[in-house]
Chain A
């Protein structure tokens, strides 16, 4: 029982840094944009938050700096996609390259350093050892229903989803597809960077090159699994977090299996998730997803 509790506690912790980019990407894809640059944005967020919080000794300044950097970097992606009619896949991959390279440069002086962890607050009672989380974990799980409400219960959310289904019709109805896409890209950028920052400051407490280890791509798989619904994204993030924690626990118990094989668990699980839930998903996906919108005469 105690084993289960510590597993569940860990699963919730590790779900948070993947839930942020997943929620960001859900909103982005609801306007019709696939962003493969999430991985780069997360790495940028992780490195910048670590560097800034190390220099200022304040984790919150670091997270704010990461959010600003994610917003700026994703603005470049949105400009390429919206105003220069670039392929979304290529623009996203360029952003991925940029994030991988830039984060390695930014983080280089801080390899091996320790930053201040975010303060933790217990969920159950002051004495319990499990379910102690930093604010960002609570915020992630509170944000998912908020995003759901925004997308499905407000008129702005309706307009945003309309752009994802058909930019031309949304335009005819008086909605600016370009504005909606910039708005969504800003949200995606901030969310992905905050997810990376939480990984660096809330979980690892250190910076290492490529530390997000493909979470940006796993988040895109979780968007497909969640069927573009922020509430289902919580389930996806918990499943992924549970797999990561299971792998860590098995390694800590010292079972005689190579660490390399254990590290494969989250990726294999993600591929399986795509295999099971990826079929027929085209009928659920926003209709204009991945297409270039050339404007309306």
Chain B
């Protein structure tokens, strides 16, 4: 017998809370084993990243790439595809966007910015289209392999033809001209256009996926490709299309990060935003509201990683351990009943 909605809602909230407590407990134990004080670590991360307005603004800034990479995973996910390549698509978007930013001088800001954004999306889209076109039995493994290729392509240009001559010590491109920089909002914070683009595409995704014919076809392909084919839906075209759209959004995240935060292309532009986007989508199960909440949560965790690096001298890699613990805990479904063998 189905339970009333209100009870289901409270049960869901209770489960979420207990899951969070379990994860905090396991990671606390891990911190303690590493010789750190878990209570002090947790207090620092909450105080510096949630209760402090500047810290909170930084968490929101960090949400912008995550919203976009999570959408880049969510769209293929709805078509039944596992896109683990957002990290590579992010890098390629940054690369192509940088080319337009550095090589088309003398344009008005609005036109130049538009071209930079479109080029970023194109770079990610091409990188997403490759696994989509290679046949969908292996898209998981091809997207993962392309993640290793993309930094090599970026490295070739950043260490080679695009390297800024005046900064011989650091392999990076020259600074973007002002017309190619993303505008910033709210002085004192680093809130940039990318965040609002992320919100816009999240809204568009939420609307189109449930209210449009396109969304219906996409979900039909993901639900039962054979049935979709019999209904006359072009399944292969949707598979490539979903990867192209997903890649474009991950590429937009890449160029946004470069054009807003760094101002020039270099190797270290992503602390794993593509993989974090995968985690966000997995936790949210491609639900638009879930993506908003979970990208805030993961942005908070990523910021906490930097806090722990500073206050506890913990290597940033500890964040990957925490992300893995979250995935492990969620996958273990602590509340599922009737699992037996």
Contact = CB atoms under 8 A, between A and B. Distances in A.
Given A93-B278, A97-B324, A275-B134, A85 B339 contact: yes
Interface string B317-341: 1111111110110011100100111
Contacts of B275: 97
Contacts of B142: 271, 274
State the majority secondary structure of interface residues on A: helix
B144 to A, nearest CB: 5
B152 A260 contact: yes
Interface string A268-297: 101100110011011000000000000100
Contacts of B152: 260-261, 263-264, 267
Given A105-B318, A217-B144, A274-B142, A90 B327 contact: yes
B321 A105 contact: yes
Interface in B76-98: 82, 84
A100 B278 contact: no
Contacts of A160: none
Nearest to B331: A86
A82 B332 CA distance: 11
B139 to A, nearest CB: 10
B163 to A, nearest CB: 11
Interface stretch (A54-62, A142-150, A192-200, A218-226): A218-226
Interface residues of A, number: 49
Given A80-B332, A84-B339, A87-B331, A98 B321 contact: yes
B216 to A, nearest CB: 24
B328 A98 contact: yes
B89 to A, nearest CB: 15
B331 A84 contact: yes
Interface string B139-163: 0111011111100110110011000
A178 B341 contact: yes
Given A97-B320, A260-B152, A267 B145 contact: yes
B332 to A, nearest CB: 5
A214 B318 contact: no
A224 B322 CA distance: 32
B318 A101 contact: yes
Interface footprint category on B: 35 or more
A94 B323 CA distance: 8
A258 interface: yes
Contacts of A36: 84, 140-141, 144
B135 interface: yes
B155 A260 contact: yes
Interface of B: 34, 82, 84, 134-135, 137-138, 140-142, 144-149, 152-153, 155-156, 159-160, 275, 278-279, 282, 315, 317-325, 327-328, 331-333, 336, 339-341
19 contacts: A85-B333, A85-B336, A86-B331, A87-B331, A91-B328, A97-B279, A97-B321, A97-B327, A98-B320, A102-B317, A104-B320, A209-B317, A217-B141, A224-B141, A260-B153, A267-B148, A274-B134, A274-B141, A278-B137
Q: Across chains A and B, which 9 residue pairs bring their CB atoms closest together, nearest first?
A: A101-B320, A104-B317, A98-B324, A94-B327, A101-B321, A97-B324, A260-B156, A86-B331, A214-B148
Given A101-B319, A258-B159, A260-B156, 16 more contacts: A36-B140, A83-B339, A86-B331, A86-B333, A94-B331, A97-B321, A97-B324, A97-B327, A98-B328, A105-B321, A214-B148, A217-B144, A260-B152, A267-B148, A278-B138, A281-B137
